[in-house]
Amino acid sequence: MSAHTEKRSTKRFTRHAGVEVRGHACSDWCTKGELIDCSEGGVGFFLPEPMKRVGVILLRVCQKSPHDTSHWPQEAGQFNMITAKVCWCLEGCSAEGTRGFRVGVQRMLPFY
Region of residue 97 (left: phi > 0; alpha: psi -120 to 50; beta: else): left
Region of residue 49 (left: phi > 0; alpha: psi -120 to 50; beta: else): beta
Domain spans, the chain:
13-111
At the topology level of CATH, where does 13-111 sit? Thrombin, subunit H (2.40.10)
pLDDT in tens, the chain (112 residues): 445 455 666 777 777 788 889 887 776 667 889 988 888 888 899 999 888 887 889 888 886 555 454 444 554 555 678 889 999 999 998 878 889 999 999 988 655 5
Q: What is the 3-state secondary structure of 17-49? A: EEEEEEECCCCCCCEEEEEEEECCCEEEEEECC
